[in-house]
Copies of this chain bind each other. A is one copy, B any other.
Amino acid sequence: MTNSDELKNIFLFSELEDFELENILNFSRIKVYSKGEIIFFDTEPYIGFYGIIDGYVKIYKISPEGREHIIHLENSGSTFAEIPMFEKYLAKTNSTHCYPANAMSIEDNTKVIRVPESDFLSFLRENPKICMKMLCSFARRLKFLNSHIGSIILDDVTKRLLKYIVKKCECNCTDNNSVKECFECTIELDISKSDLASHLGTITETLSRSFKKLQNENIISVKGKLITIKNLTYIKKIIK
């Protein structure tokens, strides 16, 4: 059963009162997707944004030539597809808007809530607290995109991969806000290598060669999905 407690896992809703959560649940829909299922296509008319109660979702575009690019990888607690809500809000006329990209579940039992934009907008307008929450999550996403875009233009694939690994390690090495100094650190990839490639703005073959290069240079070791970074403190300095 879905109850309002589950919703509190979603950052945007985490500080709401129970009665407010019940309210949101009343006008929203919960759905569970299995791995590989499409949540929406970029051709579908917009009917609300999503929150991830549990699971993993990729937001991606496909080029006319068929190449995929993952713009965002989001997991439990995140929301996505909020942007068209504000486009609709700004639009004078009652024009139709589409989802800005495709979304797919990349983990079994991915549980999401779909919140219709019109109900939520009236809620948002009366509630500065949740506005602030949303501003914070937008700010976080803007920050990510800003640095990601810079990285794609100014760094080569190997450096982008290294930055990705280091970031994952940093999350791993941080316990209740106290950063442990990690020399060696092992992480487990929670997405496929082909998803990682298209998230880093490249293709599987090139990613594979980058992994090889980092191993040859004795910076990391790879065993399946397990990646060990040898000297995190040193690596953090050189990727700056």
Contacts and interface: CB of A to CB of B under 8 A. Distances in A.
B135 A86 contact: yes
Interface string A111-127: 00000000000001111
Interface in A132-187: 132, 134-136, 138-143, 145-150, 152-155, 177
Nearest to A72: B146
Contacts of A89: 132, 136
Contacts of A147: 100
Contact of A149 (B134, B135, B136, B152): B152
B132 A125 contact: yes
A100 B149 contact: no
A126 B132 CA distance: 10
Contacts of A64: 240
A59 to B, nearest CB: 9
Interface in A70-92: 71, 82-83, 85-87, 89-90, 92
Contact of A145 (B132, B135, B139, B146): B146
Contacts of A149: 69, 71, 145, 148-149, 152, 201
B136 A139 contact: no
Contacts of A132: 89, 124-125, 131
Nearest to A144: B145
A224 interface: no
Contacts of A143: 83, 87, 100
Contact of A128 (B63, B125, B136, B153): B125
A83 B139 CA distance: 5
A61 B153 CA distance: 10
Contacts of A155: 63
A72 B163 CA distance: 23
Contacts of A136: 86, 89-90
A153 B101 contact: no
Interface in A41-87: 61, 63-65, 67, 69, 71, 82-83, 85-87
